[in-house]
Amino acid sequence: MTLNKQVVLLVGGVGGAKLAYGLAKIVPPERLTIIVNTADDFWHYGLRICPDLDTVMYTLANRVNTANGWGVDGDTRAMLEMMRDYGEDPWFGLGDKDIATHLLRTQAWQEGQTLTQITQRLTKGLGIACTILPMTDAPVATIVDTVEQGELGFQDYFVRHRWQPTLRGLRLDGIEAATVSPEVEAALKAADTIIIGPSNPWLSINPIVSVPGMRELIEAQNVARVAVTPIVAGTAIKGPAAKIMGELRLEVTVKTVVEYYATLINGFVYDERDEDFHIDSIRKIAFDTIMDSDEKRILLAHRVLDWALGTSEGDTIR
Amino acid sequence: MTLNKQVVLLVGGVGGAKLAYGLAKIVPPERLTIIVNTADDFWHYGLRICPDLDTVMYTLANRVNTANGWGVDGDTRAMLEMMRDYGEDPWFGLGDKDIATHLLRTQAWQEGQTLTQITQRLTKGLGIACTILPMTDAPVATIVDTVEQGELGFQDYFVRHRWQPTLRGLRLDGIEAATVSPEVEAALKAADTIIIGPSNPWLSINPIVSVPGMRELIEAQNVARVAVTPIVAGTAIKGPAAKIMGELRLEVTVKTVVEYYATLINGFVYDERDEDFHIDSIRKIAFDTIMDSDEKRILLAHRVLDWALGTSEGDTIR
Residue B281 belongs to some domain of the structure = yes
Residue A2 belongs to some domain of the structure = no
* Position B252 pLDDT exceeds 70: yes
**Average pLDDT rounded to a whole number, residues B116-126:** 98
Of all residues in chain B, what percent carry a pLDDT higher than 70?
A: 97
- Residue pair B41/B141 in contact (Cβ under 8 Å)? The answer is yes
> In CATH, what number is assigned to the domain containing residue B250?
3.40.50.10680
d(CA B108, CA B122): 11
- Residue pair B160/B191 in contact (Cβ under 8 Å)? The answer is no
CA angle A248, A254, A258 (to 5 degrees): 80
- Tell me which residue in B85, B97, B110 faces A78 most closely, judged by beta carbons: B97
Reported as a pLDDT band with limits 50, 70 and 90, residue B4 is confident
Position with higher pLDDT, B298 vs A235: B298
Helix pair A96-110, A51-60: axis angle to 10 deg: 120
CA distances in angstroms from A235 to A56, A204, A241, A257, B279, listed in the order given: 23, 17, 8, 12, 86
Cβ contacts of B88 on chain A, cutoff 8 Å = 100, 104
* Position B39 pLDDT exceeds 80: yes
Residue A60: enclosing H or E segment and its boundaries? helix A51-60
* Position B33 pLDDT exceeds 60: yes
Judged by CB atoms closer than 8 Å, whether chains meet at A79 and B88 is answered as: no
Judged by CB atoms closer than 8 Å, whether chains meet at A76 and B76 is answered as: yes
CB contact B61 to A (< 8 Å): no
Cβ contacts of A96 on chain B, cutoff 8 Å = 76, 78-79, 82, 96, 99
Residue closest to A104 by CA, chosen among B90, B106, B102, B45: B45
* Position B146 pLDDT exceeds 90: yes
Judged by CB atoms closer than 8 Å, whether chains meet at A104 and B85 is answered as: no
Backbone angles phi, psi at B224, to 5 degrees: -65, 125
- Residue pair A202/A170 in contact (Cβ under 8 Å)? The answer is yes
* Position B69 pLDDT exceeds 80: yes
**Average pLDDT rounded to a whole number, residues B68-73:** 94
CB contact A66 to B (< 8 Å): no
Judged by CB atoms closer than 8 Å, whether chains meet at B100 and A106 is answered as: no
Chain centroid to Cα B41, Å, comes to 12
Read off the amino acid at residue B105.
R
* Position B85 pLDDT exceeds 50: yes
Backbone angles phi, psi at B16, to 5 degrees: -65, -35
* Position B239 pLDDT exceeds 90: no
Residues B21-30 pLDDT 10s? 999 999 999 9
CB pairs under 8 A between A and B: 93
Contacts of B138 (CB under 8 A, 6+ apart): B174, B177, B178, B179
- Tell me which residue in B45, B88, B99 faces A79 most closely, judged by beta carbons: B99
Residue A273 belongs to some domain of the structure = yes
**Nearest-Cα residue of chain B relative to residue A99:** B79
Reported as a pLDDT band with limits 50, 70 and 90, residue B73 is very high
Give pLDDT, residue B161: 92
Judged by CB atoms closer than 8 Å, whether chains meet at A46 and B107 is answered as: yes
How would you write A223-279 as a 3-class SS string?
A: CEEEEECCEECCEECCCCHHHHHHHCCCCCCHHHHHHHHHHHCCEEEEECCCCCCCC
**Average pLDDT rounded to a whole number, residues B84-89:** 96
Judged by CB atoms closer than 8 Å, whether chains meet at A76 and B72 is answered as: no
Judged by CB atoms closer than 8 Å, whether chains meet at A85 and B100 is answered as: yes
Cβ contacts of A87 on chain B, cutoff 8 Å = 125
Helix, strand, coil percent content, chain A, rounded in steps of 5: 40, 20, 40
> B interface mutation test: which of A63, A103, A113, A119 has the most B CBs within 10 A?
A103
Domain that holds residue B184: 7-147+172-308
CB contact A293 to B (< 8 Å): no
Give pLDDT, residue A312: 57
DSSP-assigned states of every residue in B70-131: SSBTT---HHHHHHHHTT----S---HHHHHHHHHHHHHHHTT--HHHHHHHHHHHTT--SE
Residue A159 belongs to some domain of the structure = no
Per-position pLDDT tens, chain A of length 318:
446 899 999 999 899 999 999 999 999 999 999 999 999 999 999 999 999 999 999 999 999 999 999 999 999 999 999 999 999 998 999 999 999 999 999 999 999 999 999 999 999 999 999 999 999 999 999 999 999 999 999 999 999 999 999 999 999 999 999 999 999 999 999 999 999 999 999 999 999 999 999 999 999 999 999 999 999 998 887 888 889 889 989 998 999 999 999 999 999 999 999 999 888 889 999 999 999 999 999 999 999 999 999 865 444 433
* Position B2 pLDDT exceeds 90: no
Residue A28 belongs to some domain of the structure = yes
Cβ contacts of B100 on chain A, cutoff 8 Å = 79-80, 82-83, 85-86, 88
d(CA B207, CA B196): 13
Distance between terminal CA atoms of chain A? 25
Judged by CB atoms closer than 8 Å, whether chains meet at A45 and B104 is answered as: yes
Contacts of A292 (CB under 8 A, 6+ apart): none
d(CA B68, CA A50): 35
Residue A184 belongs to some domain of the structure = yes
Cβ contacts of B83 on chain A, cutoff 8 Å = 100, 103-104
Cβ contacts of A97 on chain B, cutoff 8 Å = 78-79, 81-82
Residue B272 belongs to some domain of the structure = yes
CB contact A47 to B (< 8 Å): yes
The domain tally of chain A equals: 1
Give contacts of B 156-195 with A, CB under 8 A.
Answer: none
Judged by CB atoms closer than 8 Å, whether chains meet at A96 and B78 is answered as: yes
Judged by CB atoms closer than 8 Å, whether chains meet at B78 and A75 is answered as: yes
Residue B316 belongs to some domain of the structure = no
- Tell me which residue in A80, A110, A122 faces B46 most closely, judged by beta carbons: A110
Judged by CB atoms closer than 8 Å, whether chains meet at A86 and B126 is answered as: yes
Buried b (16+ CB within 10 A) or exposed e, B278-304: eeeebbbbbbebbbeeeeebbbbbbbb
Reported as a pLDDT band with limits 50, 70 and 90, residue B3 is low
Give pLDDT, residue A313: 43
Residues B193-214 pLDDT 10s? 999 999 999 999 999 999 999 9
Could you say which DSSP state residue B276 is in?
A: P
Contacts of A81 (CB under 8 A, 6+ apart): B97
Cβ contacts of A113 on chain B, cutoff 8 Å = none
d(CA A90, CA B286): 50
CB contact A62 to B (< 8 Å): no
Distance from CA of A86 to the nearest CA of B (A): 4
